[in-house]
Amino acid sequence: MNINNLINEAINARENAYAPYSKFKVGAAVITQNDNVYTGCNVENASYGGTICAERVAICNAVSSGERSIKAIAIVYDENNFAVPCGICRQFIYEFGAEIDVIMAKMNGEYKIKKISELLPDGFNGDLIN
């Protein structure tokens, strides 16, 4: 997996963000165990609860293409800050594995990586239900 390429895919996806209310554009890219890359951007809605984050869009794109095994997700949102996923996205990512690498990047390509299990300690998924 080339981390810089995955970050660039997230940066490119960010360009398609629909953020007329917050002006806060986010891009994400996931890479699967099959080395396929799927991207997403945030899509806002006037009914704020209808807004969907870039991370979830990227994962939904992967899932809708038949993928279930995610290795990593890269996230970008502005020039100055590392892109950290919100709580809902942390849970959404964790659903697909506690060991997924979350690449939190800045637009300049600088990044840091943490496992989703570090960002969501004691998280849960379907393994606890079955």
Whether 51 contacts 33, CB under 8 Å: no
Of the residues 9, 55, 79, 95, which is catalytic? Answer: 55
How far apart CA 123 and CA 14 sit, in angstroms, is 28
Instruction: Using alpha carbons, list the distances in angstroms from residue 29 to 25, 60, 103, 121, 122.
Output: 14, 11, 10, 23, 25
Q: Is 9 a catalytic residue?
A: no
The catalytic residues are 55
